[in-house]
Chains A and B, each alone.
Chain A
Amino acid sequence: MLTYANPNRFMQLARRLTRPVWGLSLACLIIGLYMAFSAPADYQQGMTVRIMFIHVPAAWMSLFVYTFLTVSSIFGLVFRHPLGHVAAKSAALIGAGFTLITLITGALWGKPMWGTWWVWDARLTSVLVLFFIYLGYLFIWKAIEDPLQAGRVSSVLAIVGFVNVPIVKFSVDWWNTLHQPASVSRFDAPALHSDYLWPLLVMALGFQLLFFALWLLRMQTEIFKQKLRVRRLGLVETSNGTAS
């Protein structure tokens, strides 16, 4: 792992991985969509159960990406890993996108099933808070020009904001919520029939691979930006030295 702490080695690996990961992701998403639309209607939810095949994987991704972002931030802040802040920054917008998908598809499922777009219960509210933390994190990178300082400040927010992740996960167990408890990630067997479980898992794999495909490209873009910044600063210093 640490071999790829070097940006040049990481770039070599990323260049090799990007296309296969994109291909696998698209294949999984196409197969997952086919399985999702072939799944039978649920006896309670009817056809609306199909929204679950994107809502649940997107919700898993919103938590996974935030955990990834926090771990990367710890590597950047505590261990001064050269790619820590870059990895966290590259993941943030993708995580915000998945969280937005979770919120919108949840509301679109809630209206026909619960009779309302939104309720202020613990699960829904904590996911909304997660979305705002993502936005706050992205705002810090926009607002602070110096990448070192932006990395430090955003990492502190990411680490403090991680408190919200177990709240999102266990809110349905800790509080009496309208949102149903976990059906797949349970200590005993999943409470889902295989007709629904497999499309869900394939879509989740597709989203996971799509995240890595996008993240690899965003990482390479951030490394390009750093290279250009260092070069331009060097050119400015050289021209200042020549002028004086």
Chain B
Amino acid sequence: MEHVFYIGLSYGVTGVILCLLTANTLSAFFSFRKQIDDEFKPEDSANSP
């Protein structure tokens, strides 16, 4: 039974670290993409005929 604890904890910790990395990456990506859209969209629409 002891091995289940170590295996579970290993996979759990790995999952948490990878999920945190993914969440950090995605939140930064969408946040900056929104800022780019907000800042460059008005110009783009003004330039288009």
Report the minimal beta-carbon distance from A209 to chain B, rounded to whole angstroms: 12
Q: Which residues of A contact B24 (CB under 8 A)?
A: 93
Question: Given A100-B17, A101-B18, A105-B14, 20 other A-B contacts at CB below 8 A?
Answer: A47-B4, A47-B7, A48-B7, A50-B7, A51-B7, A51-B10, A101-B13, A101-B17, A104-B17, A108-B6, A109-B6, A214-B22, A214-B25, A221-B25, A221-B32, A224-B32, A224-B36, A227-B36, A228-B39, A231-B39
B-side contacts of A105, CB under 8 Å = 10, 13-14
Please indicate the chain B residues that have their CB under 8 angstroms from the CB of A109 in the complex.
6, 10
- Can you list 21 A-B contacts (CB < 8 A)? A47-B3, A48-B6, A51-B7, A97-B18, A101-B13, A101-B18, A104-B10, A105-B13, A105-B14, A108-B10, A112-B2, A112-B3, A214-B22, A221-B25, A221-B28, A221-B32, A224-B32, A224-B33, A224-B35, A225-B32, A228-B32
Which single residue of chain B is at the shortest CB-CB distance from A207? B18
Main secondary structure of the interface of A (DSSP, over half): helix
Question: What is the chain B residue whose CB lies nearest that of A214?
Answer: B25
Please report A residues at the B interface, Cβ cutoff 8 Å: 46-48, 50-51, 54-55, 58, 93-94, 97, 100-101, 104-105, 108-109, 111-112, 210, 214, 217-218, 220-221, 224-225, 227-228, 231
Q: Which residues of A contact B13 (CB under 8 A)?
A: 101, 104-105, 108
Decide if B3 touches A48 in the complex (CB within 8 Å).
Answer: yes
Residue among A46, A111, A221, A227 having the largest count of chain B Cβ atoms under 10 Å = A221
Known A-B contacts A228-B32, A228-B35, A228-B39; A101 and B25 likewise in contact (beta carbons under 8 Å): no
Q: Which residue of chain A is the closest to B37 with respect to CB atoms?
A: A224
One of B2, B6, B25, B40 near A218 (C-beta < 8 A): B25
Minimum CB distance partner of B32 in chain A: A224
**A228 CB contacts on chain B under 8 angstroms:** 32, 35-36, 39
Which 5 pairs from chain A and chain B are nearest by CB?
A: A224-B32, A105-B10, A51-B10, A47-B3, A108-B10
For A51, the chain B residues whose CB sits under 8 A away are 6-7, 10
Chain B interface SS verdict (over half): helix
Kindly list chain B residues whose C-beta atoms are within 8 Å of the C-beta of A55. 10
In the assembled complex, B46 has its CB within 8 A of some CB on chain A: no
Least CB separation from B26: chain A residue: A217
A46 to B3, CA, bound (A): 8
**Among A46, A94, A221, contact of B21 (Cβ-Cβ < 8 Å):** A94
What A residues does B29 contact at CB under 8 A?
A: 217-218, 220-221, 224
